[in-house]
Amino acid sequence: MALDQLETTLLQAVDNDVEAFLENNENHFTDQEQLQEIIDIPLSIVDSALTTLKIAQQIKPQISPTVKADHQVAIFNLITSCKGGISIIESNYHFFPAENEYLTEVKKQVTDFKKRLNNYENTGC
């Protein structure tokens, strides 16, 4: 996926996240299908941010010294976005009355995201 596509995806996801929250708030966070949206959207945001981090790491050797600091700030922002998205996902677990197949799969994805994110933090991407 190209960076411009990732940007479009991320911007749309932010709008979708707000809409999903408002819908769930109207239903008092009781509709299980709608509840999945407030987890699925941040999942997509974290996935896209991790993809962007991968691209940032790949292009690092090509970054001009004049924008090296900007590149690093972008990486910090992506890492923070990932951490924030993961935090939101985990904080929404409590809306589900019991562990189910959906939550089990989400928790596996979050574990994978954390490992991938840790790799970027440890390599100084």
Count structural domains, the chain. Answer: 1
Name the burial class of residue 102, with classes exposed (0-12), middle (13-18) and buried (19+) by CB atoms within 10 angstroms of its CB. Answer: middle
Q: What is the pLDDT of residue 125?
A: 58
Q: What is the pLDDT of residue 11?
A: 86
**Which residue in 83, 82, 50, 56 sits closest to 71, CA to CA?**
56
Could you tell me the pTM of the whole model? 0.86
For residues 65-74, average pLDDT: 94
Task: Report DSSP state, residue 2.
Answer: -
The one-letter amino acid at 87: S
Q: Which domain holds residue 90?
A: 3-123
The answer, yes or no, to whether residue 112 has pLDDT greater than 80, is: yes
Name the burial class of residue 103, with classes exposed (0-12), middle (13-18) and buried (19+) by CB atoms within 10 angstroms of its CB. Answer: middle
